[in-house]
Chains A and B, each alone.
Chain A
Amino acid sequence: MTELSLHGLTKRFGSFTAVDGVSIDIPDGSFVCLLGPSGCGKTTLLRLLAGLEEPSAGRISVDGEDVTGTPAHLRGFGMVFQSLALFPHLTVAENVAYPLSIRGTPRDECRRRADELLSLVQLEGMGGRRIHQLSGGQRQRVAIARGLAIEPRLFLLDEPLSALDANLREHMQVELRQLQQRLGVTTVVVTHDQKEALTMADIVIVMDKGRVQQVGAPMEVYRDPANAFVAGFIGTSNLLPCELGEGEITVSGRRIALDPGDRVKARPGEAVLSVRPEDIRLSADGLPGKISFVRDLGESVQVLVEHEGHEITALYAPGARPEVAVGETVGVEFVPGTRVVLPA
């Protein structure tokens, strides 16, 4: 039973603040994704959790126990590093059993547990191999098995799938998520890949410049971004400057009445309108624009429209492909109830 709680966690390197006052409570058994662009402080935050960095301020507690000053080797966590950090001088089974043997577990018990863990990650019978004899995906699984060997209170993963090719990565995302649900271990994964975060997470924590920008369920973060950064970072968003008035917005001099379903997070005045590509409709009315590109992606059709220097992306299912050609002038409409007005 692990409830992870961060309170005002801060890490400064000289005058640079990598993690800036992060306070979050994470319920037991959650799968958490720390999402953000490179340099946003997500890896530093993970290293603070692991005990590999000492916080400049703030507290970390697990199950109500303050672990802020606990050295890494006494925290009882599991971790998968970006480089995997498998030990080349040990066999696969010895790697997996390392956390057990370091705790003085008898050799037979180590071997039994290593076999169990290897079958958990579908690597039965591979225990005797050397690390360099394994493929990238297999190494990944060994690292995961090793991280889970002691049934950790908290399982930390730093960009664990970034070295894999696209197909294998998607496969491993699903597998990792299923494994986590089966074991119920509280898990924190660092990633810069928003699709990966949306696939795996119960809770997505979006970070930028060392600060938490939004915490929420994947669809909540996707549908209801807290600010323009989150809207732009998660998926593709069309962001247009607008003027927020009473029950309406003005985009490029054209008034659009707001629907009760639309979410307004800005104060009246200058604001940013955020609309997902799938919530854009092309018609005769709406904001005038010129089709600049049509892209068939197989699973969808993407239409790029140029509107007063802004590129607006519209997404259609292949069956609903609009009859448009490059160079044509069209009107751009935003589906009511999907519009989000964010602070400028």
Chain B
Amino acid sequence: MSARADRPTPGWLAAIPAAWLAVFFLVPFAIMLGVSFAHRVPGGFYEPGFELDSYARFLSPFFGRILLTSVALSAGAAAICVALAFPFTVILARMGGRAQTLVLVALLAVLSLSEVIIGFSLSTLLSKTAGVGNFFAWLGLIEESRAYTPSLFALMTGLCYLALPYAVLVLYPPVSRLDPELGEAARIMGATPLRAFWTVTVPMLRAPLFGAAILVFVFTLGVYLLPQVLGQPAHWTLSVHITDQAIFQSNLPFAAAMAVLLLLVSLAMVGITLLLGRAR
């Protein structure tokens, strides 16, 4: 009894986050799950029921393409973000204390920008009338200004801009803790700096690199505004279609079913990470 009373953190404190999660996450999720099985009334709303009609629509080739587009876009963003963030973080960790702080603050400032601001800024920057096309034309690189948006390039740029700070923040602690003597040891033993990077730095950071990729993947999977602002209709992701179905088509059961699928895809990625983490 006394041992329990002596514990510095009382156990009942855990009830607060538990209640929070239950009220704001589990209950809405249960409602969404219920709606996904509901019967849609065309031209109206929906009536309670239990049918698999909404899930059946996943089996169409059209829907398969949407799912593939979503996964491919997020995987691409994850690969690009990690490929950019890793060398960036390695260089950052070698900088002086002041410079590191400045860069990290700048990076955190980017996090304060919302998807909306990033989307419309890029859209303007890549447009024909006000964008970089004018600059390229002035330099003589191209004959006359052109628009670079909407396009896959514009969309990827937006997704990476949004997710890169997260990748850096995940990689920064393990990279900065890496003993510089390990790289030096590799150098003395005959490895060129590049060889040392591939044979020592990369394998030692495999887990954080994988973690950063998963974070970017799951994070960009939920992005629904950028594909509409910067992408072509072919680049509309599952998240865009959920919004479209829920708000414009008034098909809440189908939107809910897609949301459930999106959650399952995200959970599957997290599960794979955990499995790979345990295997090491």
Contact = CB atoms under 8 A, between A and B. Distances in A.
Contacts of A73: 187-192, 195
B176 interface: no
Interface stretch (A81-89, A183-191, A219-227, A305-313): A81-89
Contact of A102 (B184, B189, B203): B189
Given A85-B181, A87-B200, A87-B204, A98 B186 contact: yes
B179 interface: yes
B218 to A, nearest CB: 26
A117 interface: no
Interface residues of A, number: 27
Interface in A57-86: 71-79, 81-83, 85
Contacts of B137: none
A73 B199 CA distance: 14
Interface in B159-207: 179, 181-182, 184-192, 195, 199-200, 203-204, 206
Given A83-B181, A87-B200, A88-B204, A103 B188 contact: no
B188 A72 contact: yes
Nearest to B191: A102
A212 interface: no
Contacts of B188: 50-52, 72-73, 75, 77-79, 156
Contacts of A75: 188
A119 B182 CA distance: 24
B185 A89 contact: no
A339 interface: no
Looking at chain B's contact residues, the main secondary structure is: helix
Interface residues of B, number: 18
A98 B204 contact: no
A85 B204 contact: no
Contacts of A29: none
A81 B189 contact: no
A215 interface: no
Contacts of B179: 83, 85
A103 B190 contact: yes
B195 A102 contact: yes
A209 to B, nearest CB: 25
A2 to B, nearest CB: 16
A146 interface: yes
A50 B184 CA distance: 10
Contacts of A149: 189
A37 B187 CA distance: 28
A87 B190 contact: no
A307 B139 CA distance: 87
A82 B182 CA distance: 11
A150 interface: yes
A99 interface: yes
A273 B184 CA distance: 45
A177 B126 CA distance: 69
A79 B190 contact: no
A99 B189 CA distance: 5
Contacts of A98: 186, 189, 199
A136 B64 CA distance: 56
Contacts of B199: 98, 102
A146 B182 contact: no
A98 B192 CA distance: 13
A85 B184 contact: yes
Residue picked from B179, B187, B190, most chain A C-beta under 10 Å: B190
Contacts of A52: 184, 187-188
Interface string A23-54: 00000000000000000000000000011100
A72 to B, nearest CB: 4
Contacts of B189: 73, 78, 98-99, 102, 146, 149-150
A139 to B, nearest CB: 13
A51 B189 CA distance: 12
Given A73-B191, A73-B192, A99-B190, A79 B204 contact: no
Interface string A100-136: 0011000000000000000000000000000000000
A88 B182 CA distance: 10
Contacts of B204: 87-89
Nearest to A98: B189
B185 A85 contact: yes
Nearest to B192: A73
Contacts of B185: 79, 81, 85, 87
A88 B200 CA distance: 9
Contacts of B182: 85, 87
Contacts of A78: 188-189
Contacts of A71: 187
A67 to B, nearest CB: 13
A276 B208 CA distance: 57
Contacts of B184: 50, 52, 72, 81, 85
Nearest to A80: B185
Ranked 4 nearest A-B pairs via Cβ: A85-B185, A99-B189, A85-B181, A72-B187
Interface of A: 50-52, 71-79, 81-83, 85, 87-89, 98-99, 102-103, 146, 149-150, 156
Interface of B: 179, 181-182, 184-192, 195, 199-200, 203-204, 206
13 contacts: A51-B188, A52-B188, A73-B187, A73-B190, A73-B195, A78-B189, A79-B185, A85-B179, A88-B204, A89-B200, A89-B204, A98-B189, A102-B186
Given A72-B184, A102-B190, A146-B189, 20 more contacts: A50-B184, A50-B188, A51-B188, A52-B184, A52-B188, A71-B187, A72-B188, A73-B189, A77-B188, A79-B185, A81-B181, A85-B181, A85-B185, A87-B204, A89-B203, A98-B189, A102-B189, A102-B195, A102-B199, A150-B190
